[in-house]
Structure 1
Amino acid sequence: MKARINILLIALLAVSCTKNFNTLNTDPTQASSAQFDANLLLPTAEINYFSATQGYNGAILFESMWAQTFASAAYPSYYSNGDKYVASGNLLDYDQRLWNTGYTSASDCYQIQTLTKGDATKVNLRGIALILELLNIQVITDTYGDVPFSQALQASSGVNLPVYDSQQSIYTSMLAKLDSVLGTLDASQPAPTNDAFSYAGSVTQWKKFGYTLMLRMAMRLTKADATTAQKYAEMAYAGGTLASNADNAYMNFDHADGYSNNNSSAYQVPEDFNEVKWGKVLIDYLKTTADPRLSVIAEVPQAGLKNAANESLAGDNTAANQQGMPNGYDQNGGSTDISTATGYPGSSGTGSDVNPTGKYSRPAIGVYLALNTPGFVLTYAQSELLLAEAGVRGWNVGSASTHYANALAAALQTYGTFNGTTPISAATATAYATANPLSATSATALTQINMQYWILEGTLFDFYETWINWRRSGVPTLTPVNYTGNFSNGTIPRRQEYPTTEAATNPNNYKTAVTNLTGGDVFTSRVWWDK
């Protein structure tokens, strides 16, 4: 990342010092590829995608606990937004950050396409930019519902009040655009020179990424439009999805140069570090199935408040000692005090150093705490789980049981990408997959697949995807929290509310979008595909 950013700075300085400064800057909205290398925008778009989907831009405060990957026994707290669906003072601010930053990333991608239009040497950069734009739009529409798309990102052309497209039309358009653009990617043409993802500009891998994104989009529609879902899932499989863990898409963050993993940044905040625990459903399932990941991802803090707050002290990662925290509790001494929870393991420490939540498991600091911790976008295991589900549904994508075995073995080995993490060996992963085959009963198989999807995405800290696929699949079965003062009528939120600024800046289109939501602009309304 440092090299790419330095190149960008040099390029900008070169433009600022040129003798043709006035000519070049007469209309800054009309820059051309001859004046600015669009490759320099690619890492900006990529880092903005992560800025939108990590940390305090919603995911770790909302979706991580709405999906019950995490739990927090504190109130009041900004984690109450997620654990208890009770608003903190900054709820409205947090609520709009994915929208604002996701559209910023999408805008970067749109500008790359504009700058390279008609340039045959930039066909791959242009295609990858569109794929990244659609990556952003998918998470935005999945989170909010109907959103601007067909008229979005065009403020420089005078479109300042974009219509909100229906989510159905957005998905139809996104899938068609992917189908169109993936055929233009050409490994014989120049590759992007500034790719900050793990692909480092590999056109072959980006093509697999695009087909895997198509697959994910298709599977979102299983309940809303099964015909379209099948069509594009089969198309993605035929086109070639991610083929091994070597195709995993992630970013290695460069903290030394100012680019950190925002989930890790949040986890390093002392309040967060003490509060955040793995959820009970997750830990119970990993223990019940003797999953090798348990002793990799989880640890029980050393006894006492002082030790538990020390970010340099690793905890006990013995699988049998891990304990997941149930959601919806506090430490306020009433009926919802954590000490009243079923199976409460007791406190740790003694005297004034007692830690009431000290025996609950937290994310292992050796895996998740470093600010250079990689952030994942799409993985081979994720792709194979989606293909396994498509196979169970009888679609022409190969053997469901083979895809599931591939996914399970790959998932266990994915954690070796994290900094300083000893990987689970291929032998151990394969043995576990063999011992835990896919059921021949369709309903059971769908539960198995989506349970593994929930575990994979949650433990890779891809919290939006964890929550979104839970809404689609209903797996695992989660018990909603009904804490006093909650904003979702005691149910797990199904969407985020639109940014409050939309009602003021784009009122007519906003009102139309709200009218299309059964129940209105609230957390309990469902988006089109969420049946």
Structure 2
Amino acid sequence: MLKKSYNYLVALPVLLLMAAGCKKGTFDINNVNPNLPLTVSSQFTLSAALTNVANQSYNSGYPDFANRYMGYWAFSGDYGGYGTEATYNTNTSFATSNWDNVYLTLENFRNIVDQSRVKGEEYYLGISKIMQAFQFQRLVDLYNNIPYSDALNGAKANYYPKYDDAKTVYKAIVGQIDSAISIIKGANSVTADNPGKYDVMFGGNMTKWLAFANSLKLKILLNMTQVSDGPAFITSELNGLTTADFMGAGVDAAVNPGYSNSALNQQNPMWQNVGFATNGTSPTTGNSFNRACSYSVNFYKNTNDPRLSLFYALNNNGVVKGRALGSEDGTEHNTVISAVGPGILASPTQSAWIMPACESLFLQAEAVQRGYLAGSAASLYQSAVSESFRIMGVSSPSTAAATYTAQPDTRVNFTSAPDKIQLIVLQAWAAYNMIDPIESWNNWRRLGVPADLPVSIYPGTTATHIPYRLLYPLSEYNSNSANVNAQGSINNMTSKIFWMP
């Protein structure tokens, strides 16, 4: 990985410094150029870094492939040239922003960590450590072994960082979250510098940050349920925690730096990707290219799910219709196959979900069902479904969720489901459509849910399952070749993430 030690998307403080540095009579050739500051204030870097995380969750080039792998999206019948992805014959140039840009954002959080340690900005330090853990988890889940201990060394940059064992990284970031929680809890709430409006996720509400930190920790831990020493580690790490320590109903981790419809690059990142131009009618390329997949459409229809017409838009005939991933049917035009729906595209100014309450509640339900936490898995499951209905805009979400889960269908009814964990994870898949497809992919790789997830039907496709991982990016083979080649021969269809059975 070519080491980059700079911030990006932090133009505001630079502009302020430019204004201050242009006063007559203040120029000194011996001074550092005020228009190119060596450091940027933590408050501005935090806003930019959190916004970048949102971009990496929804902009094109990041999770789009996972929406297709997990049966949420299909390719438009009005486009071609997608054979490489449709046959899963991807290469080192595929989805590389998930590596390159995530490491850049990690550098932003590293800068905050370095500055906040000096200045005593405990809240900034805690937040940044939590978000570093969030992003390192994402990297492990996509690539397995990654540069970790050598990756973020600031002025002592190692331009050829070694790769760390993925399980070691996982355990290290759990410890990093614990450290962040201790830092935040130990801060003096009167004297600590609260980020307030510069915290574009929780507005400086540190109680919510603590709940998010624990929810993220739970998300990481549950990925280890199938690892030989995983259950013991999970039990140890969750000791002393109760469901009250996690994000509950109504508490969404969502970023909004002030999205607006005044310009395309100011819209919510999902809207930029698969929404519309500022006129509200001209679809983006992503909107035209990504269409409803028949697998998910049929699941929602067969379970009488009121989210169907919210995940997907009505077609020209006034119904929701999908197509199979990889279909070459020339009659399946965009007038027939549904686009992304109004629940996902509520507004160009809507917040970008990082972890909605429903995700935390599904995680808690699984943890309780497995015996890692005390509580009622049935109640947590019910609340998770209700919260998914809420963020999707279902009317009277609690009532609608109660009606939905009361159906005599083992795919929705907790009481009648023979395998409660399978049900919880299946309904998490139903809820994470376009919201967190990476987590759905994790669950499929970990537990094989959904069990009947189809593969692409594109001509020439020989795969019997969807891919297990992404390949390391070309940038690594070009600039850090010794260390990436030390990982051996990587195959996206057979090489597993460490937590996979």
| 1:400 matches 2:377 | yes
Distance 1:482 1:455 in 2: 22
Name the structure 2 match of 1:253: 259
**Quick one: structure 1 residues 172 and 198, their matched pair in 2 at CA, closer, same or farther if it must change by over 3 Å?**
closer
Shift of 1:168: 0.3
Inter-partner Cα distance in structure 2 for 1:431 and 1:177: 41
Farther-moved stretch of structure 1 (382-391 vs 74-83): 74-83
SS in 2 for 1:164: coil
Q: 2:490 aligns with which of 520, 523, 529?
A: 520
Query: In the TM superposition, what whole-angstrom CA distance separates every residue of 1:280-331 from its partner, at most 9, and x where no partner exists?
Result: 222222222212212322233215xxxxxxxxxxxx3xxxx43332222113
1:530 aligns with 2:497: no
Q: Is 2:396 the partner of 1:427?
A: no
Question: Kindly, what percent of the aligned residue pairs are identical?
Answer: 20
Distance 1:14 1:425 in 2: 50
Assess if the C-alpha contact under 8 Å between 2:51 and 2:200 holds in 1.
no
The 8 Å contact of residues 313 and 320 in structure 2, kept in 1 or not, is answered as: yes
Task: Indicate yes or no: 2:415 matched with 1:439.
Answer: yes
Which range is displaced more, 289-298 or 216-225?
289-298
CA distance in 1, matches of 2:285, 2:37: 43
Post-superposition CA distance 1:356-397 (Å, at most 9, x none): 464433322574275434321012111111111111112233
Match of 2:445 among 471, 477, 498: 471
Letter in 2 for 1:401: A
Q: Which residue of 1 aligns with 2:74?
A: 71
Letter in 1 for 2:338: S
Counterparts of 1:210 and 1:21 in 2: how far apart (Å)?
47
| CA distance, structure 2, for counterparts of residue 322 and residue 75 of structure 1 | 18
* Equivalent residues in 2 for 1:303-318, closer than 5 Å: 303=317, 316=318
2:111 and 2:154 in contact (8 A); partners too: no
SS at match of 1:362: coil
Q: Which residue is equivalent to 1:291?
A: 305
What is the aligned partner in structure 2 of residue 372 from structure 1? 349
Task: Tell me, yes or no, if the aligned pair for 2:78 and 2:334 is still in contact at 8 Å.
Answer: no
Residue ranges of structure 1 left out of the alignment (5+ in a row): 304-315, 333-346, 348-354, 417-421
- 1:135 and 2:122 are equivalent in the alignment: no
Note the C-alpha offset of 1:499.
Answer: 0.8
Q: 1:221: how far off?
A: 0.7
CA deviation vs aligned residue, 1:486-519 (integer Å, no higher than 9, x gap): 5x8453111111011212211221122x22xxx5
Among 27, 38, 41, the alignment partner of 1:37 is 41
Show CA shifts across 1:239-292 (max 9, x none).
711022234434363343633333322324555433422222222222222122
1:226 maps to which of 212, 231, 235: 231
> For residues 176-325 of structure 1, what are the structure 2 equivalents within 5 Å?
176-185=175-184, 186=187, 187-188=189-190, 189-224=192-227, 225-234=230-239, 237=242, 240-251=245-256, 253-256=259-262, 258-267=265-274, 268=276, 271-303=285-317, 316=318, 321-325=319-323
Deviations 1:151-170 (A, max 9, x none): 11225213111111111000
CA distance in structure 2 between the aligned counterparts of 1:5 and 1:29, rounded to whole angstroms: 11
Partner of 2:338: 361
Structure 1 residues 212 and 259, CA gap change in structure 2 (3 angstroms): same
Whole-angstrom CA distance in 2 between matches of 1:15 and 1:502: 40
1:448 paired residue number: 423
Distance 1:41 1:21 in 2: 28
Whether the 8 Å CA contact 2:215–2:360 is kept in 1: the answer is yes
Specify the alignment match of 1:310 in structure 2.
Answer: none
Amino acid at match of 2:499: W
How many angstroms apart in 2 are the aligned matches of 1:115 and 1:255? 34
2:54 maps to: 50
State the secondary structure of the residue aligned to 1:183.
helix
Give, as a single letter, the amino acid of the residue that structure 2 aligns with 1:253: Y
1:16–1:433: structure 2 CA closer, same or farther, 3 Å change rule? Answer: farther
Preserved CA contact (<8 Å) 1:127 1:181: yes
| Contact 2:147–2:164 under 8 Å retained in 1 | yes
**Corresponding residue for 1:124?**
123
Q: Which residue of 1 aligns with 2:389?
A: 412
Residue 161 of structure 1 aligns to a residue in which SS? coil
Distance 2:271 2:162 in 1: 36
Distance 1:9 1:426 in 2: 47
How far residue 15 of structure 1 moved from its aligned partner, in angstroms, is 6.1
Give the 3-state SS of the residue equivalent to 1:254 in structure 2: coil
Distance (Å, rounded) in 1 between the aligned partners of 2:20 and 2:485: 43
Higher RCO (C-alpha 8 Å, min separation 6): 2
Report the CA distance shift for 1:395/1:75 in structure 2 as closer, same or farther (over 3 A). same
Q: Deviations 1:423-442 (Å, cap 9, x if unpaired)?
A: 5444333443455542376x
Residue ranges of structure 2 left out of the alignment (5+ in a row): 1-8, 277-282
| Separation in structure 1 between the aligned mates of residue 42 and residue 371 of structure 2, nearest angstrom | 43
Matched residue SS, 1:148: coil
Match in the other structure for 1:497: 471
User: Is the CA contact 1:497–1:523 (under 8 Å) kept in the aligned structure 2?
Assistant: no
Aligned residues of 2:71 and 2:454 also touching (Cα < 8 A): no
Residue aligned with 1:165, SS: coil
Letter in 2 for 1:438: F
Equivalent residue pairs, number? 469
Q: RMSD of the TM alignment (CA)?
A: 3.0
Matched residue SS, 1:215: helix
Contact 1:211 1:240 in 2 (8 A): yes
Q: Assess if the C-alpha contact under 8 Å between 1:99 and 1:499 holds in 2.
A: yes
Query: 2 CA distance for matches of 1:50 and 1:508?
Result: 32
Q: Helix, strand or coil: the match of 2:137?
A: helix
Instruction: Spell out, residue by residue over 1:126-154, the C-alpha distance to the aligned partner (whole angstroms, 9 max, x if none).
Output: 11011111111111111111111111122
Match of 2:4 in 1: none
Letter in 2 for 1:449: I
CA distance, structure 2, for counterparts of residue 21 and residue 69 of structure 1 = 58
Contact 1:63 1:467 in 2 (8 A): yes
**Partner Cα distance (1:127, 1:394) in 2:** 29
Instruction: Give the secondary-structure state (helix, strand or coil) at the position aligned to 1:71.
Output: strand
Distance 2:236 2:322 in 1: 40
Instruction: Tell me if the contact between 2:267 and 2:348 (Cα under 8 Å) persists in the aligned partners.
Output: yes
- Looking at structure 1, the residues matched to 49 and 169 of structure 2 have their Cα atoms a distance apart, in angstroms, of 21
- Say whether the 8 Å CA contact 1:211–1:239 is kept in structure 2: no
Cα distance change on mapping 1:114 and 1:361 into 2, 3 Å: same
1:344 corresponding residue in structure 2: none
